[in-house]
A and B are shown apart, each in its own frame.
Chain A
Amino acid sequence: MIRSDSPRKVRGALEYGVDLDAPGALHAVLIRSPVAHGRLRTLDLERVRSSPGVVAAIGAAELAELLPSRRGDPSRPAFPSEELRYRGEPVAAVAARTLGEARAAALRARIEVDPLPIVAQIEDVFPEWPGSGEGESEHVNAHVLARQGDTERVFARADRVVRGKYRTAGIVQMPLEPHACLARVEEESWRVQSSTQSPFGVREDTSAILGLPEEQVVVEASWVGGGFGGKGAALLEPYALLLAAASHRPVKLQLSYAEEFELSRSTLPSTIWIESAMSGDAILGRRVRLLLDTGASLPGRDFATGYAIGFIAGPYRIGAVELEGYAVKTNKPPFGPHRAPFAPQCVFAGESHTDEIAREAGWDPLEFRERTAWRVGDETPLGQKVGPFGLEEGIARARAIRERWRKELPQGTGIGLAVGFWSTGTGAGGEVLVRLGPTELVIETVEAEIGSGSVIRGLVAVAEEISGLPREAIRIERTDTARGPYDSGVYGSRTLGALGHAVRVAVTKLLEELGRRLPGRGEVRLELLDGKCVASRGEARTGVESLFTDTERATSGMLARGRHYGRGGEILAERVITGGFFGYTDFTAAVHLAAVAVDAETGQVRVVRYAAIADAGHVVDAPTYRAQVEGGVAMGLGEALTEETLWSAEAELMNPGLLDYRVPTLLEIPPIEVEVIEGFPGAGPGGTKGGGEPPIIPVPAAVANAVADASGARVRELPLTPERVARALKLL
């Protein structure tokens, strides 16, 4: 058995957020804005309240009564009282005995809105690149600009300049399990169980929104049926808690799939321009311009532009680089993180462009990258030194795979290469409590297993490696934010890097303590003998229970706390002219090859083979790591080929459902070859690097480059639907 949760998942025995229930629980529905932009004139909930089964209905007007001591963040009200900023924005909520009653009642709200002008898309305000100095525009949430070297000089002396304009689509995370939570308010305790990637993140957000002290809000994660970044912040919890306070009953709130599309903060469209100044076969300089639709995100809450833009220039030796981007405010729902936030889109632009340079000059795109790739110790545009990095080796392995494919695959098959890089997130840090009992080692954490295996398998594997105990003797125990040790969340590929470190620290402390209690010298190891935890040193073996103090015996074991507060890499301040950029913690390479067949008359792309070479640093559990790579590729193929949110001129989402938002099925997933590179250590325990996000990053670019190789058609817009490919083939 690979994972201890698998049998229960197969049997349907695990309690996910959608399964949460309590005796007497009410069902809640959000009442949402009918327009993308407007001023709320009237919100009348009387007819909602008089509907059958309704116990509570609340909007902005009820907040003061429910939260008399409110001193929350005024920029983040639970419900808007004036300006409505996007279609579907929650303006009120209703709780009723049944979901059907709540839905019927919600339809009876009277909402009157004075319309305001709608900015539906980037082009409405910036039809072209606006130039520098738009930072103060009312349409801009954030402006970033950084410069390495003298780009003007190198562009002036280039023998040619290669230019490209790329567009990417909005996409949603689409976990199988939508957002769901169950709230209870009893006296001073505001308690919520939730399908979340970050109980402490939800606590922080919820207390800010409701204006409650953090200790008064208690969050407990349920099992999570997929998050992909969409479940890292509070979304439903404040509404459910408010309804629970108003009704004095437990309240269940869960999104429908259609609501999930509109409310789960995700990726919105972008336009990216890249120019490369070439001299012979060297890139002298590169200018990157990014306009990123960040929807109705609140000012100052942009994280995307300054993080993403560094990926567009690529992991290449380029003399001078200028990076500039705007986070554009529109009346779409707010932007949010989505597995490797915005990196697949950036790398699609950057790696398509790099491929174009090579192909136009008649060079082998692989060889060109091989020559130009960062080496360890190189300096990045933001002034960081490249640490241990598996890029060169990854490209060398890609070459071997390409040679083999060229022999195996039929004529006409196109092969595309793309490389991406990533950095393991740190978050604010994390802690675990580890308890060694007579028969088991228990890791106590607030974090849920979200499907990747990073908690249920990754943390256990680290404990196995350090302690010597087999996996059946190690258990994860989930706790809540009132009792549990702090951690910032299961996101950013950080779980193993941060919590794994914390486990390593805690288990090491336990072994040291056992060492003090055991005679002899040398390393202490644990093993399981006849169902008991046994400590050994050299030839000597002792059941751990006999080493416990009286207190430990009474409290079922020895306790140790492990903590890890990692830091992001420093960046050279003088390179940053304006805006918040992010430094990378470590450098993780992902080198991918896609092989495609293109139908020359319809534009249909079929991916026939795929290879992902992963710069793992160190692998603690091979099947779990491999599954993350395969899953990343599968998800990336959706971004490459079919997934796209469609928006009307009034910023209405036109395809909020799985019928016209096309997630790949197993039938579209080709055989995936996974190669793992170890030996370029990252910041995690034993040198691990984050594994969840890197494998999605190069996928759209690899597919686009393969399509160009197969057919000559260069598609500069995601996703590569048959119609877009047909257009690039000049069939239309």
Chain B
Amino acid sequence: MALLAPTRAEEAIAELLDGPEGRVAVLAGGTDLLLDLEEGKGAPEVLLSLHRLPWRELRWGREHLEVGATLPLAELERDPELARRIPGLLEAVGAVGGFALRNQATLGGNLVRASPVSDLIPILLALECEVGILGSTGERTIPLEKFLLGPRRTVLARGELVRRVVIPTLPSAFRWQRVRPANDVSQISVAVARTPDGEHWRIATAGVAPLARRARTAEALLRGRSPPEELMVSAAAGAAEEAGVRADKRATDTYRRQLLRTLVLRAIRAVPVGPTGDAG
């Protein structure tokens, strides 16, 4: 297996288009890919590492944060603005793996692997972020919800790479539950975000269905920056019902429903009441 680490995007894309399908595996941190290779899932001829591409931006705009696809999560976590402007994203990034893993893992890698147990996908869904996709004909941008097709499946075509993620700065919160708090796979994770005016709430859950998803019926129950307690409770209960929980070796469906009720409610309450982001 050859390791290639191009410094220019065109080289990377040309490599992806060269030879038969499955010849190249893209390495953008490798914290998930390497597990597969170790288990003998796939035998690529080429590992195409993106770590030398100049794709590590972290740029704050008025209403958005733009993150380059290969920025290590640890660097995102260290950004001094994140706690104030997108608190839910900081909570989610801090929940990924352990310290060593976050030095290696990237946001782009996490999205492309589209793991059913990703702790980042729910918060990025709740924030309604957009994904910048680079191909041989240029860059296009699509909403994350459209980018994800299912577990381990995205819209990425052959010869395309995730270039960046554009994340709205919104009041938000993230909650998770695991058997072992550190460095474990979440039994449930929950993200909640709200538009600054309180007009729209968004709830996303993971660890329940084949892939993280929005809980739109529950979202619709919430209005305003500080909804009444009974509506929060109803929304949490609703989210637990519409999430499509299932049982596996990490948790039973009954327990997952209990966790959803609890964690969705906690996350709603944890969303800062005051406006954050540039609006404040």
Contact = CB atoms under 8 A, between A and B. Distances in A.
B185 interface: yes
A726 B252 CA distance: 12
Interface in B183-206: 183-185, 187
Interface string A601-645: 110101000000000000000000000000000000000011000
Interface of A: 601-602, 604, 606, 641-642, 646, 654-655, 659-660, 662, 664-668, 721-723, 726-727, 731-732
B71 to A, nearest CB: 24
A722 B185 contact: no
B258 interface: yes
A662 B180 contact: yes
Interface in B216-269: 249-252, 254-255, 258-259, 262-263
B98 interface: yes
B184 A662 contact: yes
B274 to A, nearest CB: 26
B179 interface: yes
Contacts of B154: none
Given A662-B184, A665-B183, A732-B252, 8 more contacts: A601-B262, A641-B180, A646-B249, A666-B182, A667-B182, A722-B187, A723-B187, A726-B255
Given A654-B249, A660-B249, A660-B250, A721 B259 contact: no
B259 A602 contact: yes
Given A601-B262, A602-B177, A655 B251 contact: no
A606 B181 CA distance: 9
A238 B277 CA distance: 66
Contact of A642 (B98, B179, B258): B179
A149 B117 CA distance: 57
A665 B250 contact: no
A664 B177 contact: no
15 contacts: A602-B258, A602-B262, A602-B263, A604-B177, A642-B179, A654-B249, A655-B249, A659-B185, A662-B179, A665-B182, A668-B180, A668-B181, A723-B187, A732-B252, A732-B254
Contact of B251 (A604, A666, A723): A723
Nearest to B184: A662
Contacts of A726: 255, 258
Contacts of B263: 602
Contacts of B262: 601-602
B180 A732 contact: no
Nearest to B252: A723
A664 B181 CA distance: 9
Contact of A665 (B180, B187, B258, B259): B180
Contact of B255 (A642, A654, A660, A732): A732
A207 B258 CA distance: 56
The 7 closest A-B pairs by CB, nearest first: A667-B182, A662-B180, A601-B262, A665-B182, A723-B255, A642-B180, A732-B254
A731 B177 contact: no
A320 to B, nearest CB: 41
B249 A731 contact: no
Interface of B: 35, 98, 177, 179-185, 187, 249-252, 254-255, 258-259, 262-263
A660 B181 CA distance: 13
A469 B144 CA distance: 70
A661 to B, nearest CB: 10
Contacts of B259: 602
A719 B21 CA distance: 45
A599 to B, nearest CB: 9
Contacts of A646: 249
Given A604-B177, A665-B180, A723-B252, A660 B185 contact: yes
B180 A664 contact: yes
B250 A667 contact: no
A604 B186 CA distance: 13
Given A601-B262, A654-B249, A732-B255, A722 B177 contact: yes
A601 B259 CA distance: 8
Contacts of A641: 180
Contacts of B250: 660
Contacts of B254: 732
Contacts of A666: 182
A665 B182 CA distance: 7
A662 B98 CA distance: 14
A11 B35 CA distance: 27
Given A660-B250, A665-B98, A731 B258 contact: yes
B196 to A, nearest CB: 29
Contacts of A723: 179, 187, 251-252, 255
Contacts of B177: 602, 604, 722
B258 A732 contact: yes
Contacts of B251: 723
B181 A667 contact: yes
A660 B251 CA distance: 12
A659 B39 CA distance: 13
Nearest to B98: A665
A722 B179 contact: yes
Contacts of B187: 722-723
Nearest to B265: A601
A726 B254 CA distance: 11
Nearest to B38: A256
A721 B258 contact: no
A22 to B, nearest CB: 26
A664 B184 CA distance: 10
Given A654-B249, A660-B250, A665-B98, A721 B179 contact: yes
Contacts of B185: 659-660
Nearest to A641: B180
A668 B2 CA distance: 39
Nearest to B254: A732
Contacts of B183: 665, 667
A604 B181 CA distance: 9
Which residue, B98, B252, B262, has most C-beta atoms of chain A within 10 A? Answer: B262
Contact of B182 (A601, A654, A668, A731): A668
A664 B180 CA distance: 7
Contacts of B258: 601-602, 726, 731-732
Nearest to A663: B180
A662 B180 CA distance: 7
A668 B180 CA distance: 8
Contacts of B182: 665-668
A363 to B, nearest CB: 33
Contacts of A654: 249
A731 B177 CA distance: 15
A666 B99 CA distance: 12
Nearest to A729: B258
A602 B262 CA distance: 7
A368 to B, nearest CB: 32
B39 to A, nearest CB: 9
A662 B179 CA distance: 8
A723 B181 CA distance: 13
Nearest to B257: A732
A669 to B, nearest CB: 10
A654 B182 CA distance: 21
A641 B180 CA distance: 8
Nearest to A644: B179
Which residue, B179, B185, B249, B254, has most C-beta atoms of chain A within 10 A? Answer: B179
Contacts of A732: 252, 254-255, 258
Contacts of A664: 180
Contacts of B255: 722-723, 726-727, 732
Contacts of B252: 723, 732
A667 to B, nearest CB: 4
Nearest to B262: A601
Which residue, A660, A666, A723, has most C-beta atoms of chain B within 10 A? Answer: A723
A646 B249 CA distance: 8
A443 B228 CA distance: 75
A659 B182 CA distance: 11
A606 B187 CA distance: 17
A267 to B, nearest CB: 19
A153 to B, nearest CB: 45
